[in-house]
């Protein structure tokens, strides 16, 4: 595929955290992201889904180099972000932005809303003075706020409104790629719907490409074109959203989908839920999903399954299928 077809190509990305305790008997690193590979086409939304500890947030931050990856390749419009020096990376930053989960922690409480949204415009010398104020007003209106909100402080706003401010900040520099990390998880259900609509509208209006990180499968399915399922630092399955839900192939994906409450009291979950993970030991070899997998065989204990195409660009990492 021509490299300009894909906006982002992630190859074998790893982020390990090394413990620094002097007397630690356990010197093994935490493999938060352990070799993930995927690509996102321009204008596409890839959903990254998984439960707590799967590494999705770390992956999102590593992709924008908000935390430094341990190894791998990050090709943004064909250019490896890891080859860039500070200045080179800085110049690319307007094109790739981040939306944070916590509307209460992600805005500087000492900055006015206008300053928060306009900071990037100032730093990258895109517009200044009167023009900057006009642009900030435009952006605030785009996200459903008022130009007059520019002189107020974050604490004067509700959670949903603060998230709109965070989104305004993210779109201010006309980015091509936005990594959204659980952008609606901290919000009430009715506000979630408003913000999801906003994100989808902006995507259409501004031609954005999203990496949408969430633990909520309904939301991920709603907004994503393709979905990648993560577990303990690895991608277990990646496919078109509709296809993933219609025929989930990895045992973990099946368990995940089956656990989603159906909002229909007449079809309550009859299946026995999946066994719980046991933290008393960690898998050293083979597939990480073994302790919870109903299909585990000898091969699973020895060999880690690779992410292989099962047809229709639906890739799965599982020996049971092959």
Partner 1 sequence: MKTPLLEVRSLSTYFFTEDGVVRAVENVSFEIYPGEILSLVGESGCGKSVTGLSLLRLVSIPPGKIMNGEILFDGSNLLELEEREMEKVRGNDISMIFQEPMTSLNPVFTIGNQIMEAIELHQHLNKKEAKQKAIEVLDQVKIPSPEVRVDSYPHQLSGGMRQRAMIAMALSCQPKLLIADEPTTALDVTIQAQVLRLLKEIQRKMGMSVMLITHDLGVVSEIADRVAVMYAGRIVESGPIEAIFGQMRHPYTQGLLESIPQLKEKKKRLNAIPGQVPDPMDLPIGCKFHPRCHLMIDACKKEEPPLFHVNGNHVSRCIRWKECC
**Number of neighbours of residue 6 by Cβ within 10 angstroms:** 20
160 vs 233, beta carbon nearer partner 1: 160
Q: Tell me the C-alpha to C-alpha distance, in Å, between residue 239 and each of 215, 258, 259, 292.
A: 17, 18, 19, 22
109 vs 272, beta carbon nearer partner 1: 272
User: Within 13 Å of residue 96, how many CA atoms lie on the same side as its CB?
Assistant: 22
131 vs 295, beta carbon nearer partner 1: 295
Name the pairing type of β-strands 209-214 and 177-181: parallel
Residues that bind partner 1 in the complex, under the rule CB under 8 A? 51-52, 158, 160-161, 188-194, 196-197, 200, 215, 217-219, 221-223, 245, 255-256, 258-266, 268-269, 272-274, 276-277, 279
83 vs 104, beta carbon nearer partner 1: 104
Report helix, strand or coil for 284: coil
Shortest distance in whole angstroms from residue 25 CB to partner 1: 17
160 vs 286, beta carbon nearer partner 1: 160
Give the C-alpha separation, 187 to 171, whole Å: 20
Shortest distance in whole angstroms from residue 277 CB to partner 1: 7
Residue among 56, 66, 52 at smallest CA distance from 33: 56
Shortest distance in whole angstroms from residue 271 CB to partner 1: 9
Shortest distance in whole angstroms from residue 203 CB to partner 1: 11
Shortest distance in whole angstroms from residue 189 CB to partner 1: 5
Report helix, strand or coil for 68: coil
Q: Are 245 and 237 in contact (CB under 8 A)?
A: no
């Amino acid at each position: 595929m021509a490299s300009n077809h894909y906006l982002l190509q992630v190859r074998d990305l790893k982020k390990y955290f090394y413990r620094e305790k002097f007397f630690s008997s356990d010197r093994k690193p935490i493999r938060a992201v352990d070799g993930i590979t995927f690509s996102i086409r321009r204008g596409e939304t890839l959903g990254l889904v998984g439960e707590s500890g799967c590494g999705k947030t770390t992956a999102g931050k590593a992709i924008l180099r908000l935390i430094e990856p341990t190894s791998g390749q990050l090709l943004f419009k064909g250019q490896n972000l890891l080859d860039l020096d500070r200045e080179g990376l800085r110049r690319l930053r307007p094109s790739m932005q981040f939306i944070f989960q916590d509307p209460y922690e992600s805005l500087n409480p000492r900055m006015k809303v206008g300053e928060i949204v306009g900071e990037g415009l100032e730093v990258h010398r895109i517009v200044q003075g009167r023009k900057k104020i006009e642009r900030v007003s435009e952006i605030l209106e785009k996200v459903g706020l008022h130009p007059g909100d520019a002189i107020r402080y974050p604490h004067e706003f509700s959670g949903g409104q603060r998230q709109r401010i965070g989104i305004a900040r993210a779109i201010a520099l006309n980015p091509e790629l936005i990594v959204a990390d659980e952008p609606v998880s901290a919000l009430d259900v009715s506000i979630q719907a408003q913000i999801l609509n906003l994100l989808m509208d902006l995507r259409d209006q501004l031609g954005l490409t999203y990496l949408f990180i969430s633990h909520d499968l309904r939301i991920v399915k709603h907004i994503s074109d393709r979905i990648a399922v993560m577990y303990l630092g690895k991608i277990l399955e990646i496919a078109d959203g509709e296809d993933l839900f219609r025929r989930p192939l990895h045992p973990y994906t099946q368990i995940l989908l089956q656990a989603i409450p159906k909002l229909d009291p007449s079809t309550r979950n009859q299946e026995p839920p999946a066994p719980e993970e046991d933290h008393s030991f960690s898998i050293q070899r083979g597939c990480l999903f073994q302790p919870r997998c109903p299909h585990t065989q000898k091969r699973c204990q020895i060999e880690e399954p690779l992410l292989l195409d099962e047809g229709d660009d639906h890739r799965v990492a599982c020996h049971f299928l092959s």
